[in-house]
């Protein structure tokens, strides 16, 4: 059995002053609100325009995705014209600044298309070394999860709640969450996932960006994902870490460029999962 790799838990930090960071975080919330204004008129309507991006599967994109990302990009270009932008629908726009906004207008488009609630808008700001702030906005429920080195919060209407992940949970007590079992179809992934699942209390599928935020909120404890892109994960990192949770790749290293991640509510649980993922059958 391999030894678990110590997790990369470098504190979220940047050269930004606290005031600058707070201002950029509020701007990210503003971007998510703009996206929500574009998205909500399309949600749970019979006229939803859906296109499949994957000829061998189902990877939907909607007019709402494209309109929301376009609105976000326009506002970034107007307010921070030197910043870069990386988005799911329109790719990378390189900026003169080291800062890049990483955006997914609707993370969980399948859930969105089906009228389910486990989707949201993801906004991150990367300073060239790591994401320093992140926002997940679910406009239908009115929830905004946000995180930075200053901590993590949930905003709902006029109420703001500081988030704190649960500590001391062991794998045998945790419910393992993942978005889709098909994420683990690549060679070697399913046996690794099943080693974790065999030790967990139960397994639940579905959730996309919503379940990781529930780890930050202390409602869930464990998420294991694969087949991710930067816009799927970067906004979640400051939220999870700001709440005291841990997010790494499957080797226990930095997650912001990873396609496979582990999100755990505490260090002990994280170590158990990394060990199980990397064990030899």
Interior/surface letters 131-170, b for 16+ CB within 10 angstroms, e for the rest: bbbbbbbbbbeebbbbbbbebbbbbeeeeeeebbbbeebe
Please check whether residue 3 lies inside any domain of the structure: no
DSSP letter string, 236-255: HHHHHHHTT-EEEETTSS--
Claim to verify: residue 185 and residue 92 sit in the same structural domain: no
Residue 192 confidence (pLDDT): 98
Claim to verify: residue 205 and residue 262 sit in the same structural domain: yes
Please check whether residue 13 lies inside any domain of the structure: no
Question: Any binding-site annotation on 107?
Answer: yes
Are 199 and 230 contacting, i.e. CB atoms less than 8 angstroms apart?
no
Claim to verify: residue 120 and residue 210 sit in the same structural domain: no
Claim to verify: residue 146 and residue 181 sit in the same structural domain: no
Question: Any binding-site annotation on 88?
Answer: yes
Rounded to an integer, the average pLDDT of 174-203 is: 96
Claim to verify: residue 142 and residue 206 sit in the same structural domain: no
Please check whether residue 4 lies inside any domain of the structure: no
Claim to verify: residue 25 and residue 132 sit in the same structural domain: yes
Claim to verify: residue 41 and residue 78 sit in the same structural domain: yes
Q: Name the band, by pLDDT with cuts 50, 70 and 90, for residue 47.
A: low
122, 140, 162 — which closes off a domain?
A: 162
Alpha helix ranges (H) inside the chain: 18-39, 63-79, 109-113, 189-199, 210-217, 230-233, 236-242, 267-278
Give residue-wise pLDDT tens across range 217-247.
999 999 999 999 999 999 999 999 999 999 9
Please check whether residue 55 lies inside any domain of the structure: yes
Domain CATH number, residue 274: 3.40.190.80
Domain CATH number, residue 131: 3.30.540.10
Paired strand residues for 247: 263
Residue 180 confidence (pLDDT): 95
Claim to verify: residue 102 and residue 189 sit in the same structural domain: no
Residue 88 confidence (pLDDT): 83
162, 187, 218 — which closes off a domain?
A: 162
Residue 62 confidence (pLDDT): 78
Residue 31, helix vs strand vs coil = helix
For the whole model, what pTM was predicted? 0.91
Are 223 and 245 contacting, i.e. CB atoms less than 8 angstroms apart?
no
Question: Any binding-site annotation on 104?
Answer: yes
Residue 14 confidence (pLDDT): 66
162, 180, 203 — which closes off a domain?
A: 162
Claim to verify: residue 45 and residue 139 sit in the same structural domain: yes
Give residue-wise pLDDT tens across range 111-142.
998 999 999 999 999 999 999 999 999 999 99
Please check whether residue 45 lies inside any domain of the structure: yes
Residue 35, helix vs strand vs coil = helix
Claim to verify: residue 42 and residue 64 sit in the same structural domain: yes
Claim to verify: residue 156 and residue 23 sit in the same structural domain: yes
Q: How many domains is the chain built from? A: 2
Are 148 and 238 contacting, i.e. CB atoms less than 8 angstroms apart?
yes
Question: Any binding-site annotation on 106?
Answer: yes
Helix (H) or strand (E) holding 171: none
Please check whether residue 8 lies inside any domain of the structure: no
Residue 3 confidence (pLDDT): 37
Claim to verify: residue 157 and residue 22 sit in the same structural domain: yes
Please check whether residue 10 lies inside any domain of the structure: no
Please check whether residue 6 lies inside any domain of the structure: no
**Structural domain of 121:** 18-162
């Amino acid at each position: 059995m391999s030894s678990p790799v110590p997790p990369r838990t470098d504190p979220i930090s940047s050269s930004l002053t606290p005031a600058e960071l707070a201002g950029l975080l509020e701007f990210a919330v503003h971007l998510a609100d703009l996206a929500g204004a574009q998205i909500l008129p399309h949600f749970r309507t019979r006229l939803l325009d859906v296109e499949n991006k994957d000829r061998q599967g189902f990877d939907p994109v909607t007019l709402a995705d494209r309109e929301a990302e376009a609105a976000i990009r326009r506002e970034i270009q107007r307010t921070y014209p030197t910043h870069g932008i990386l988005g799911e629908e329109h790719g990378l726009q390189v900026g003169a600044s080291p800062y890049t906004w990483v955006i997914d207008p609707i993370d969980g488009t399948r859930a969105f298309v089906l009228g389910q609630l486990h989707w949201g808008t993801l906004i991150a700001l990367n300073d060239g070394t790591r994401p320093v702030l992140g926002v997940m906005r679910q406009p239908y429920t009115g929830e905004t999860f946000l995180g930075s080195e200053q901590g993590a919060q949930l905003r709902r209407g006029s109420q703001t709640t500081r988030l704190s992940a649960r500590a001391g949970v062991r794998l045998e007590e945790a419910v393992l969450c993942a978005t889709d079992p098909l994420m683990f179809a690549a060679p070697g992934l399913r046996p690794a996932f099943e080693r974790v699942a065999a030790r967990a209390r139960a397994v639940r599928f579905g959730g996309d960006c919503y379940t990781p935020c529930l780890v930050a909120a202390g409602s869930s404890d464990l998420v294991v994902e694969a087949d991710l892109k930067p816009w799927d994960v970067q906004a979640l990192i400051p939220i999870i870490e700001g709440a005291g949770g841990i997010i790494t790749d499957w080797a226990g290293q930095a997650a912001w460029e990873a396609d496979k991640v582990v999100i755990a509510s505490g260090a002990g649980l994280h170590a158990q999962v990394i060990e199980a993922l990397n064990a030899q059958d």
